[in-house]
Amino acid sequence: MYPKAIENYFAPTDVAEVLTLLNQYGEQAKLLAGGQSLMPLMKLRLAEPQTIIDLNQVAALDDIREEDGRLHIGALARHSEVATHPIILQSYALLADAARNIGDPQIRNRGTIAGSLVHADPSADYPPAVMALDGQLVVAKADGSTRTVLVDDFLAGPLMSDIGEDELVTRIEIPAPVAQSGGAYAKHSQVAGDFAIISVAAQITRDPSGVCQQASIVVGGVMPKPCRAEQAASLLQGKAIDATLLTQAGEAAAEEVETEDDVRASADYRRQLIRVTVPEVVRQASARAEE
Amino acid sequence: MKRSIGITINGEVYEETVDQRLLLVDFIREVAGLTGTHVGCSVEGRCGACTVVLNGKAVKACLLLAVQADGASVLTIEGLAKDDALHPIQDGFWEKHGLQCGFCTPGLLMTLYEFLQNPKHSDEEIRTAMSGVICRCTGYVHIVEAVKHAIAAVEALSPEERKEWFPV
């Protein structure tokens, strides 16, 4: 299996150049970031771009920093960098959990956060994690304008995201969690490093007495895109998190999130996984909030 | 359609005008003639047999275009041993019989090359580090033993020796 012939290959070195090329080649072009999904799609001839715009030489598109109360992650930040970055491990642990769960070491050395979100696989690790953290994407357009879009709206459906042919995601922004917040992410897959059958991301904020102030729970591995378990999250709100409450949250999430049969697992099995995984992940998130 | 590129592989520069769709693994095998880098699954990049070290990072050479590596430095299995001396990672596999058919071995060794630059690792980390290369023969027990043997050998190296065995 080999990619179809590529007419044009460009390796621009700054964002302005990328946008000019996008404007010129638009619909026949594909942006190549880590390439860990795009290359297999090209080999399978499910993607046949005439023009490749390789982003890997673009400077300053991979930095990770905190600024104005937000975490900024450059579009090209590799999974291996997100998984090990001190700021992310310290304050955005669920994101590091998600990054560590993607593929294998070689894939994590190449794959990028924006690439994963644009690809929008409903079973991928980043989408539920970035949703649970209320992340936004900053998108640049060839005319020089930029827009910011909430990840919930950016993810449109299976392998569909809200990105125009003349647009480039330049970074992901995540609001810094308040004190006593913590998050966790876990997934179930058929084999190590595979896409999720079910994944759960949770971000919890507690007060000093251990009462849950705010909770966000997102379930991945469901169609058409990751789903917020809002009833489960609201159950936790205003209460001290104990074993009974955790069980109830798991039940509520299994009830409210719709599951489907596919090649990986049945709808029933997925529901059962949600029932047992939500309590586990919320417990871990809550423990991290206490630290 | 075609593009002139130059890739440094194991310290030697290979220049060629190639199809833009040529995969890095095929540049290594067909242009440079270094057939120690293997092609297993060839589509999804799941098997890891084609793993090489690109600018210091272990990557699957079947998931990169050769044109992307223009100007880059690649280390392959052929670049590990020095003269008659096996690399400490190779020596671990030799001593502990960490292979049977050997097809996945180049990919494993190149993955471990990056991993062992910092040799302190738990058993679980060793297994996680190898999760990107699939071995269909061994059941991994001997491989883990080989890696532990290699870790001990790397830890015993002086800083100068370490630099010599891990140049990139």
d(CA B133, CA B126): 12
A32 and B CB contact within 8 Å: yes
Are residue B140 and residue B119 in the same domain, yes or no? yes
B119 and A CB contact within 8 Å: no
User: Which of B27, B44, B52 would you mutate first to test chain A, the one with the most A CBs within 10 A?
Assistant: B44
Question: Are A71 and A173 a contacting pair, CB within 8 Å?
Answer: yes
Q: Give the list of residues 6+ apart from residue B55 with CB closer than 8 angstroms, or none.
A: B72, B73, B168
Task: Looking at the complex, report in whole angstroms how far the Cα of residue A83 sits from the nearest Cα belonging to chain B.
Answer: 14
Q: Confidence band (pLDDT; 50, 70, 90) for B22?
A: very high
d(CA A263, CA A268): 13
> Domain A8-54 has what CATH class?
alpha beta
Please report the pLDDT score of residue B87 as a whole number: 97
Does the pLDDT of residue A223 top 90, yes or no? yes
Residues in chain B closer than 8 A to A106 (CB atoms): 45, 48, 51, 58-60, 111, 132
Q: Confidence band (pLDDT; 50, 70, 90) for A193?
A: confident
- pLDDT tens, A15-64? 999 999 999 998 899 999 999 999 999 999 999 999 999 999 998 899 99
Q: Give the list of residues 6+ apart from residue A216 with CB closer than 8 angstroms, or none.
A: A131, A132, A133, A134, A202, A203, A204, A228, A233
Q: Do A5 and B115 touch (CB under 8 A)?
A: no
| Of the partner residues A8, A40, A54, the one whose CB lies closest to the CB of residue B43 | A40
B135 and A CB contact within 8 Å: no
Please report the pLDDT score of residue A1 as a whole number: 83
Please report the pLDDT score of residue A249 as a whole number: 98
Q: Confidence band (pLDDT; 50, 70, 90) for B79?
A: very high
Could you tell me which of A20, A38, A25 has the C-alpha nearest to residue A8? A25
- pLDDT tens, A125-140? 999 999 999 999 999 9
A110 and B CB contact within 8 Å: yes
Report whether CATH 3.30.465.10 matches the domain A64-175: yes
* Interchain CB contacts (distance < 8 Å): A and B: 90
**Fold (topology level) of A181-290:** Enolase-like; domain 1 (3.30.390)
What is the pLDDT averaged over residues A226-238? 97
Count CB-CB contacts under 10 A for residue A46.
10
Residues in chain B closer than 8 A to A107 (CB atoms): 45, 60, 132
A54 and B CB contact within 8 Å: yes
Q: Confidence band (pLDDT; 50, 70, 90) for A243?
A: very high
Q: Do B131 and A107 touch (CB under 8 A)?
A: no
Task: Looking at the complex, report in whole angstroms how far the Cα of residue B2 sits from the nearest Cα belonging to chain A.
Answer: 8
Of the residues B79, B113, B128, the one at which a domain ends: B79
User: Which of A36, A56, A104 would you mutate first to test chain B, the one with the most B CBs within 10 A?
Assistant: A104
- pLDDT tens, B105-123? 999 999 999 999 988 888 8
User: Which of B60, B70, B115, B140 would you mutate first to test chain A, the one with the most A CBs within 10 A?
Assistant: B60
> What is the token pair recorded at B49?
């047999």
Please give the helix or strand (H or E) that residue A30 lies within, else none.
Answer: strand A29-32
Are residue B131 and residue B104 in the same domain, yes or no? yes
Q: Give the list of residues 6+ apart from residue A266 with CB closer than 8 angstroms, or none.
A: none
Does the pLDDT of residue A200 top 90, yes or no? yes
Q: Do B1 and A6 touch (CB under 8 A)?
A: yes
Does the pLDDT of residue B1 top 90, yes or no? no
| Of the partner residues A8, A36, A56, the one whose CB lies closest to the CB of residue B63 | A36
Are residue B103 and residue B157 in the same domain, yes or no? yes
Nearest Cα residue in chain B from A39: B63
- pLDDT tens, A88-122? 999 999 999 999 999 999 999 999 999 999 999 99
Q: What is the largest CA-CA distance in chain B?
A: 50
**ipTM score for this prediction:** 0.96
Pairing of strands A51-54, A8-10: parallel
Of the residues B58, B79, B100, the one at which a domain ends: B79
Does the pLDDT of residue B139 top 90, yes or no? no
Q: Confidence band (pLDDT; 50, 70, 90) for B59?
A: very high
Q: Where are the domains of chain A?
A: 8-54, 64-175, 181-290
A194 and B CB contact within 8 Å: no
- Assign residue B123 the CATH number of its domain: 1.10.150.120
A245 and B CB contact within 8 Å: no
A35 and B CB contact within 8 Å: yes
Are residue B21 and residue B75 in the same domain, yes or no? yes
C-alpha torsion sign, points B8, B11, B15, B21: negative
Q: Which domain holds residue B8?
A: 2-79
For residue A224, whether the previous peptide bond is cis, meaning omega lies within 30 degrees of 0, is yes
B1 and A CB contact within 8 Å: yes
- pLDDT tens, A154-167? 999 999 999 999 99
**In chain A, residues 66-105 whose CB comes closer than 8 Å to chain B:** 80, 103-105
Please give the helix or strand (H or E) that residue A253 lies within, else none.
Answer: helix A243-256
- Assign residue B64 the CATH number of its domain: 3.10.20.30
d(CA B72, CA B84): 27
Q: Do B57 and A109 touch (CB under 8 A)?
A: yes
Of the residues B24, B56, B79, the one at which a domain ends: B79
Instruction: Output A115 or B168, whichever has higher pLDDT.
Output: A115
